[in-house]
Chain A
Amino acid sequence: MNTSDSEEDSYNERSALVQCESPTIPSYNQDHDMSLPQETDTKRRRPVSSGLDEPGPVERERASTPDGEEEELTLKYGAKHVIMLFIPVTLCMVVVVATIKSVSFYTEKTSQRLIYTPFEEDPNSVGQRLLNSILNTMVMISVIVVMTIILVVLYKYRCYKFIHGWLILSSLMLLFWFSFMYLGEVFKTYNVAMDYPTLVMIIWNFGVVGMICIHWKGPLRLQQAYLIVISALMALIFIKYLPEWSAWVILGAISIYDLIAVLCPKGPLRMLVETAQERNEPIFPALIYSSAMVWMVGMADSSNPDSADERQRNEGGALAQEGVESEDDAAQGGRRRYSAEEDLEEDRGVKLGLGDFIFYSVLVGKAATTGGDWNTTLACFVAILIGLCLTLLLLAIFKKALPALPISITFGLVFYFSTDNLN
């Protein structure tokens, strides 16, 4: 079966890890190392923030708080972010591994291939097989690069309707067609009789509520759950339709591509992120998993609706926010209110692209398919989480969008091949 091009592209845009950001409002004016490079945003915010600043003594009091406390806050919020991402990544991988182990459909090899991997892997000749998998990878990566560039160009020239249409089509396909297939296979595995009317009701409800939650407004938890589910479905499709060796080479190649695309100045993903930042727009919700919501600086909300609106607009797409920012915002209300707000405040959290979810799950899923036993799967799982942890640490240090694939996938591949070949 052939997946649509939109699938390929969409998941690619999703390979980036960004911190939720709101531009720094340097309450602690002397801490230059804390301020972010988004000068323009900061300037725009300063008039707003100064209105909220408590006069005189409290400011001086805050000015005297040591760096150590801020570092502590950064670390504390950094740790919280790590947990906030571990849970969805783990859930996605658990869903994929559980499906692989129980539903045999996704591990049955078919002669059907995606059009992106046209070369057949001949199991007889090692050299030929390797060559074909490399060729497949080249085809796939070039498709991905082309799609990414098209997306960035469309975004730069503000063809929002086209992009939204594309994303909606792609989520429609995931939510309806792939979940229909999935449900069918699960029912066949468990030998359950299912009738068409009930099935249509289930798929219809699942799909429509999914579209509403992802593209419009819905409860955060439900949106997160849907994003996890569609990542898992996409990963399962890849596991089924990518040839054996090609899958591993593709994983390696796409981590390298992610590294280039996000870090190089002219990299497409970096340009996408920066353009979104410049325009102060959220990156499309269908591409990014967001771990938390902004909670407006408590009491200050009612007194200053402007700042609330601004922050609301920036919450979605604002990037590279350090955890201390949210503390700054809270501290604006005055340190004495901090402890009261602490239990109420949700900090801005971190965003992870859906492509990252998908490829992590592909790696662990393939380890579950082909690996000897559970050791391999667990090793890969741990490796990916360690990689994610390191990436988040780097994110806290560098405070800009970072590729989430390279470290995790490298560790994952190393652990897979070494654990698999232990005996």
Chain B
Amino acid sequence: LPAGLSQWFPALEVLDVSGTGLTEMGTELLSLPCLHTLLAKNNRLGGPGSLPKGLEQAPLARSLRVLNLSGNRFSEVPPALLQLRGLRSLSLGGNRLHGIPPDIQELHSLEFLYLGGNFITSIPPELAKLPSLRYLVLCDNKIQSIPPQLAQLHSLRSLSLHNNLLTYLPREILNLVHLDELSLRGNPLVVRFVRDLTYNPPSLQELAGRTIKTRNVPYAPSDLPESLVRYLSLASNCPNPKCGGVYFDSCVRQIKFVDFCGKYRLPLMHYLCSPECSSPYSSASQSSTSQSESDSEDEASVAAHRMQKVLLG
């Protein structure tokens, strides 16, 4: 960036340096107090110095709303970027990202996140802690599964997952009632019901955890090591309403097909706390058209002795 930029243009609000071959953006950015949009796509950014040091203290950290770094060479999300607390829109499409840092949750104002066209293999559950996220693009990556926590993205309107390595989706995805757009093409989604599954019996720790939760045994953070407090907070509820149980790591996995948005028949992974539980039909599948189709394949409970390999998980 040209030296003296902030002296010449102190009121600069929008800066577009796309397609200029930039390898780094320096301290000139730090003195632009009004900058809300920075477009730097199709450059050679990605190495150290791509973003200036001292970003945390700069006015930019609060003023920047839109950042477009698509078409660069980032192999990881630069930690400095996570200091931009006012960011509403972030694009890192067409880079070389292999993952998403859990600290992405620091960008708590984020509404638009474009990560298409990278090499991302998994999604951290922390991504779900972005309360304003409306548009999430993860297409053209190498993602194998979606964490069920993603259903906590209450504001999500559009989710792009096409051209990945997904074989199923978590059933919690049905909770995204505001979702208007969902792209899933180009994923090896299973098309047949998977009846066979493995069941790893719960560990002693898990059995203790389940008892504490289901019997409401009171405990305070001072009673337990921090790791166990954290473990207890990760309990998931068994979807079987008659069960009322919880599970931690040990669960039975079952694929059911559910009509979603009235258009797609999606393979959804149900997690049940034991083979004796049978999962209820979700509200989405209770429409008359889909019920009969999934009924014929989805019988009630699955015998615990079935030990054939499940193709997912």
A and B interact? no
Interface residues of B (CB under 8 A from A): none
Interface residues of A (CB under 8 A from B): none
